[in-house]
Amino acid sequence: MGKPENGVNRRNFLTVAAASGAAAVTAPTGINEAKAVPSIARIAPPSAAEMEAEIGEARLLPAAVTSVGPNARPGSDFMVDVLRALDIEYVATNPASSCRGLHESINNYAMNKKPELLTATHEEIATAMAHGYAKVSNRPMGLLFHGTVGIQHATMAFYNAWADRAPMLIMSGNHLDAAHRPPGVPTTHAAQDPLALIRDFTKWDDQPQSLQACAEALFRAYKITMTPPYGPVAISLDAHLQEGFTENDLKIPKMTRVSAPSADMDTLKEVARMLVDAQNPVIVVDRGSRSHRFQPLLVELAQLLGAPVVDQLGRQNFPSRHPLNATDRARGVIGNADVILGLELADFWGIVNSYSDVAQPKQGRRLKDSVKLVSINSRDVFMKANYQDFQRFQDVDLALAADAEASLPGLIEMVKSATTPEHKAAAEKRTAAAGAAAAKNLEKLLSEDAVYGWDASPISTARLSAELWAAIKEHEWALVSRDARLSNWPHRMWNFDKHYHFIGDSGGAGQGYGLGAAVGAALAHREHKRLVVNVQGDGDMMYGPGGIWTAAHHNIPLLTVMHNNRAYHQEIMHVQRVGNWRDRGLGRANIGTTLENPHINFAMMAKSMGVEGIGPIGDPKELAPALKRAVQIAKAGEPVLVDVLTQPR
């Protein structure tokens, strides 16, 4: 506590200063008002005791606000220290006055290094960047947004991250104290409970009221976001904590090492027994991989069992060319299975049942009656009720509420223990049969499917994928976009076998994910000098094209290839479908669904933001030289965009 100086101690000094400041802001500038200011000053500020009696010391005078002595430091500098202790490397932001204290501290106290600010032109883009970054680096990015309008902007992207189990540390500003916050816009942007809006799809949130509580909240948030199942967490950092001062000796907690929830060995032994004794075991995997450890474990398990693997492609789970990869033959192997092991499945029901989207929807079961279903899923540990991303309930024989990556080593050991020479021989036989079926399927795909439309314009997705593979395969590459809208050709043609080759899709299927996630993923790949490829839908791009500028501004190398089919094709098909059901014709399915008249020139768009833009390319013969040039630019460390006019799918 500071000594009284001229009858005003430090605490009261701040109070006086605040009152004078308020007077200065609110007093009109007319000549008559010059006399009014002293009259305000003559009003004695309330003493600390009076203040405490009025609204409570803890509320008005938290540790951060009370001192401007020689040892005082801004509260937001302390927040930077906390972020550094958490090893937060980047904070993506769209600047916001309610975050100005922390923003200034990152600029001038941290000197914009660890964390480094990333400038995004929309909070949704910033959040998608954090989403893509986390899936490559297995680390959370920080986000710094306005507490009301910024959070509102980013909401859909948070939902994507929630559904896709991506960790991130959301920080938002607020002015909670109605008696001291600035009037006008800051008050319009203030909220009693600013994170209520996203509580249904974040794992945890808090609004600490002191710097010490802030440090503990950030550490708790970090622990929660990085404990499987991963998911976004959010902290509201009140402006008075950011902008105030402290000379208190505050404690930064120590980093907590977290262990993922793993299945118990007795239950894993039971699962192993079921799998080893099965005649046709099948593994289905979705968001299994959290790190480089997962894929080798899954390969080992599949090979021990001779079990075909159906990859839902939520992550890089299983090598695309492995003989046991049965992704393209999913319906057949699932229908023939007697035991199915589901690993981190977003939708077990949808995998083992059919649903026809026809005028009178039809549902059916794809399984043998005797099949046994086993689920290992960390989502069983933690879920919420409102949003339905947990999908329809599927009854299974055994559900292990555990993280698949953490549980696989134990399961493998149990499978090894249970395997006899007869089991091993049967597994080898199944592996050989699966390999032959996979080779036959690939031959059909390439000889009977890919060749059709080879020279077509717009360019076929098979041709685009083949040209792209030829351009990148000699490099260390990574695909940071989902290829379902390319008819899965990359996963059919390319050799996905490194843990970093693929990161899955948005999770929540909210448009606007693609470019931002690609920029964030490319940032995480940058230190490894990988050639990062983003095949970007045109509709998705138009939600957040500012990501192009962010990539240029922060020197993030990224090869974006536009899948420019000039429409929201999924939606055309939906409108067309309903029109057919109602027998009302097809001539107007393009209304509200196409991106034509005028056409969008994405190469020009890229150029306008300082990024080399190539195209538009509609002639498939022009594709190879364009991609070759683009690869050179990306390998030189710059973002580049190639606009390709494509078939719908």
Partner 1 sequence: MMKMILSLAAGTILSSAAFAADAKRGQELFIKAGCYQCHGTVGQGANTGPRLGPDPLALESFISFVRNAASTNMPPYSAKILSDAEMADIHTYLASVPKPPARKDIPLLNNK
Candidates 178, 358, 383, 436: give the one binding partner 1 (CB under 8 A).
Answer: 358
Consecutive H or E run containing 74 = strand 73-74
The window from 236-244, 372-380, 448-456, 556-564 that contacts partner 1 (CB under 8 A) reads 448-456
Binders of partner 1 among residues 587 to 606 (CB under 8 A) are 587, 589
Q: Which is nearer to partner 1, 13 or 502 (CB)?
A: 502
Peptide bond into 115 cis (omega under 30): yes
Binders of partner 1 among residues 462 to 481 (CB under 8 A) are 462-463, 466-467, 469-470, 473
Is 484 a binding residue for partner 1 by CB under 8 A? The answer is yes
Say what angle helices 546-553 and 514-526 make with each other, to 10 degrees: 10
Q: Which is nearer to partner 1, 594 or 601 (CB)?
A: 594
Is 576 a binding residue for partner 1 by CB under 8 A? The answer is yes
Least distance from partner 1 to the Cβ atom of residue 302, Å = 22
Binding mask 233-252 for partner 1 (x = CB under 8 A): --------------------
Tell me the pairing of strands 339-343 and 353-356. unpaired
The window from 245-253, 450-458, 505-513, 597-605 that contacts partner 1 (CB under 8 A) reads 450-458
How much of the chain is in helix, strand and coil states, percent to nearest 5? 45, 15, 40
Is 509 a binding residue for partner 1 by CB under 8 A? The answer is no
Is 648 a binding residue for partner 1 by CB under 8 A? The answer is yes
Q: Residue 464: which residues within 8 A CB-CB, separation 6 or more? A: 486, 489, 535, 561, 563, 623, 644, 646
Candidates 461, 481, 506, 534: give the one binding partner 1 (CB under 8 A).
Answer: 461
Tell me the pairing of strands 353-356 and 362-365. antiparallel
Contact 508, 162 (CB under 8 A): yes
Peptide bond into 253 cis (omega under 30): no
Closest-CA residue to 613 (of 602, 627, 603): 603
b/e map 214-242, b = 16+ CB within 10 Å: bbbbbbbbbbbbbbbbbbbbbbbbbbbbb
How far, in Å, CA of 453 to CA of 647, rounded? 9
List, in sequence order, every beta strand (DSSP E) within 209-352: 232-238, 245-246, 281-285, 309-311, 339-343
Q: Which is nearer to partner 1, 77 or 311 (CB)?
A: 311
Q: Which is nearer to partner 1, 403 or 467 (CB)?
A: 467
How far, in Å, CA of 119 to CA of 111, rounded? 15
Least distance from partner 1 to the Cβ atom of residue 367, Å = 20
Closest-CA residue to 202 (of 160, 262, 258): 160
Q: Indicate the DSSP class of residue 32.
A: G
Candidates 40, 72, 456, 542: give the one binding partner 1 (CB under 8 A).
Answer: 456
How far, in Å, CA of 87 to CA of 81, rounded? 10
Q: Which is nearer to partner 1, 334 or 466 (CB)?
A: 466
User: How many amino acids of this chain bind partner 1 (CB under 8 A)?
Assistant: 45
Q: Which is nearer to partner 1, 70 or 587 (CB)?
A: 587
Least distance from partner 1 to the Cβ atom of residue 363, Å = 13
Is 585 a binding residue for partner 1 by CB under 8 A? The answer is yes
Candidates 242, 407, 460, 560: give the one binding partner 1 (CB under 8 A).
Answer: 460
Candidates 447, 591, 597, 598: give the one binding partner 1 (CB under 8 A).
Answer: 447
Is 331 a binding residue for partner 1 by CB under 8 A? The answer is no
Candidates 82, 450, 517, 633: give the one binding partner 1 (CB under 8 A).
Answer: 450
The residues of the shown chain that bind partner 1, judged by CB under 8 A, are 356-359, 446-447, 449-456, 458, 460-463, 466-467, 469-470, 473, 484, 487-488, 493, 495, 569, 572-573, 576-577, 579-581, 583, 585-587, 589, 647-649
